[in-house]
């Protein structure tokens, strides 16, 4: 068995690591036989020299197998599916999609994360529902999924512990952006859910981790090839994040938009289009529907029948939330004491938003974290967000700020005005779905 220095040297010199060497690295991350400095050195060597598909598959599986894996064989009467997004502002698609695909016959045990940087976290959104507990044991997840069809919960210590340690090392060694390490980090957790099919939503644009189409395509291709190599049917959509997705950004506000979507009160067109596109791939890939058109009809029927809303309500109640959330959301979802519209300073077309700046404005309102231990204010954020390309007369609102104080609201207004530009010429539009990879 090679010692850590030999494994580091091989990758430093541009060589490919064997399956056994990668397994030893993953084991070393969990049992301490790789020190922090050795793990950091190997992460940097991978960052600089990359990995083959076989190496990425081996690393993904080794990190997945460093913890417990869910196994649904013989327990469910349908396929197990999930989707993952690389993160964006206002991205609440998982909240809508889980009950929709469950209503179509799939099972979705989504292990979600918290907010990171300027992006909101699915767990933070759901925890704005009083009583909803994202902290569930694997035994509880195994018990509830057959009953509910969908579960959205937080990460547990039992899943992919090797990734948890490696991510912490990457975070302080400037190796977070490594595509092989991003791939293995995402997939080691997702594949531990016992999936039959996975759909990735890789964001691209000024609000995404991947700012260019080439970087987004490289990550999407890496994830698809690695997941398929690991035995899980996978597709990826590259979708636009040059503006906030939907009409809200902020935890309770996004839950309210989810409820409005599921019950048919309001469905913002871009958000609806992306949700259907991702859901259709999930149903086709898992064998529940023969083609995209049939899958979209099934998803739309799950909404129009009220079945998807029922699945969401059952999940919320089973995880500790109120049973009548859909009927009386205003009774439960926190409401900010200050609401202030941001008027357009001039007439014109709303140019593409500086999405990162708007996301950081939500963080500064208290809707995200500047450091890991920070408490989130679920009530704050933005609503009634005008989509890029809209024509606005002077004084018409760009969006509405929800804040905890007048001072915080005024600061957010200034940040919104700085992040949005209006001009007399129509803004260039970006396709919502740039590319589909299989």
Catalytic residues: 82-85, 122, 170, 185, 189-190
Alpha helices in 172-306 (DSSP H): 179-191, 213-229, 251-263, 269-285, 292-304
Please state, in angstroms and rounded to a whole number, the distance separating the CA atoms of residues 199 and 82: 7
Asked if 366 and 337 count as a contact pair (C-beta separation under 8 A), the reply is: no
DSSP-derived 3-state class of residue 201: strand
424-432 contact pairs (CB < 8 A, 24+): 424/348, 424/349, 425/349, 426/349, 426/389, 427/349, 427/350, 427/351, 427/352, 427/388, 427/389, 428/352, 429/388, 429/389, 430/205, 430/240, 430/242, 430/352, 431/240, 432/239, 432/240, 432/270, 432/273, 432/274
Please state, in angstroms and rounded to a whole number, the distance separating the CA atoms of residues 160 and 186: 10
Handedness of CA 333, 334, 338, 344 (dihedral sign): negative
At 71, list the tokens: 């196994």
Please state, in angstroms and rounded to a whole number, the distance separating the CA atoms of residues 340 and 337: 10
Q: Kindly tell me the burial class for residue 232, based on how many C-beta atoms sit within 10 Å of its own C-beta (0-12, 13-18, 19 or more).
A: buried
Please state, in angstroms and rounded to a whole number, the distance separating the CA atoms of residues 186 and 226: 11
């Amino acid at each position: 068995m090679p010692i850590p220095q030999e494994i580091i040297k091989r990758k430093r010199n541009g060589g490919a690591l064997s399956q056994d060497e990668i397994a030893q690295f993953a084991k070393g991350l969990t049992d301490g036989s790789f020190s922090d400095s050795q793990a950091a050195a190997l992460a940097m060597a991978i960052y600089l020299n990359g990995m083959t598909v076989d190496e990425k598959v081996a690393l993904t599986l080794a990190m997945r197998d460093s913890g417990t894996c869910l196994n649904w064989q013989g327990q469910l009467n349908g396929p197990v599916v999930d989707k993952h997004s690389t993160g964006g502002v206002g991205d609440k698609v998982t909240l809508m999609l889980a009950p929709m695909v469950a209503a179509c016959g799939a099972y979705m045990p989504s292990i979600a994360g918290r907010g990171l940087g300027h992006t909101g976290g699915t767990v933070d959104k759901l925890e704005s529902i009083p009583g909803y507990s994202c902290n569930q044991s694997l035994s509880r997840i195994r018990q509830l999924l057959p009953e509910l069809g969908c579960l959205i919960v937080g990460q547990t210590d039992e899943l992919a512990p090797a990734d948890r340690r490696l991510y912490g090392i990457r975070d302080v060694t400037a190796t977070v952006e490594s595509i092989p390490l991003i791939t293995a980090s995402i997939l080691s957790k997702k594949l531990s859910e016992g999936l039959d099919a996975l759909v990735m939503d890789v964001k691209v644009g000024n609000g995404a981790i991947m700012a260019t189409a080439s970087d987004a395509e490289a990550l999407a291709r890496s994830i698809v090839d690695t997941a398929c190599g690991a035995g899980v049917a996978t597709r990826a959509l590259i979708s636009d994040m040059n503006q906030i997705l939907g009409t809200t950004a902020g935890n309770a506000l996004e839950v309210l938009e989810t409820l409005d979507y599921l019950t048919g009160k309001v469905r913002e067109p871009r958000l609806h289009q992306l949700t259907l596109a991702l859901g259709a791939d999930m149903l086709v890939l898992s064998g529940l529907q023969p083609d995209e058109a049939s899958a979209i009809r099934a998803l739309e029927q799950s909404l129009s029948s009220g079945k998807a809303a029922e699945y969401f309500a059952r999940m919320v109640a089973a995880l500790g939330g109120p049973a009548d959330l859909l009927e009386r959301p205003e009774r439960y979802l926190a409401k900010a004491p200050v609401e202030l519209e941001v008027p357009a300073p001039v007439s014109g077309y709303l140019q593409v938003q500086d999405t990162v700046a708007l996301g950081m404005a939500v963080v500064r309102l208290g809707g995200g974290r500047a450091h890991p231990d920070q408490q989130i204010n679920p009530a704050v954020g933005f609503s009634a967000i005008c989509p890029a390309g809209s024509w606005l007369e002077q004084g018409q609102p760009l969006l509405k700020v929800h804040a905890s104080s007048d001072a915080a609201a005024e600061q957010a207004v200034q940040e919104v005005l700085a992040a949005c530009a209006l001009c007399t010429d129509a803004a260039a539009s970006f396709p919502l779905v740039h590319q589909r990879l299989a």
